[in-house]
Amino acid sequence: IANIAVDPDRQGAGLGGALLDAVLQEAASRGAHTLFLEVRESNTPARGLYRSRGFEEIGRRRRYYSAPVEDALVMRRVSDA
């Protein structure tokens, strides 16, 4: 997954979850069983969203992001099918 973004004024309304669910459904329809993403370590709401959809933290990319410099957490989701 490259990017999922919601306008800050609309965050908390379930749009991010709906977007992620659509991506997961499309990936499954194309036969994808494993998905990976990176998320800023400080992005607690996104990390919670991803965990709620079955993603697990499996690694860290040190100093992955700039402005500000921050680690990325690598997350993976493996489907049952």
Q: pLDDT tens digits for 1-50?
A: 678 888 989 988 999 999 999 999 999 999 999 999 999 999 999 999 99
Pairwise CA distance, residues 56 & 43, whole Å: 15
The strand pair at 70-78 and 34-40 is best described as antiparallel
Positions marked catalytic: 38, 50
CA distances 57 to 12, 16, 31, Å, are 23, 19, 22
**pLDDT at residue 80 in the model:** 79
Residue pair 79/73 in contact by the 8 Å Cβ criterion: no
Pairwise CA distance, residues 2 & 54, whole Å: 17
Residue type at position 40: R
Considering the chain, what percentage of its residues have pLDDT values greater than 90? 83
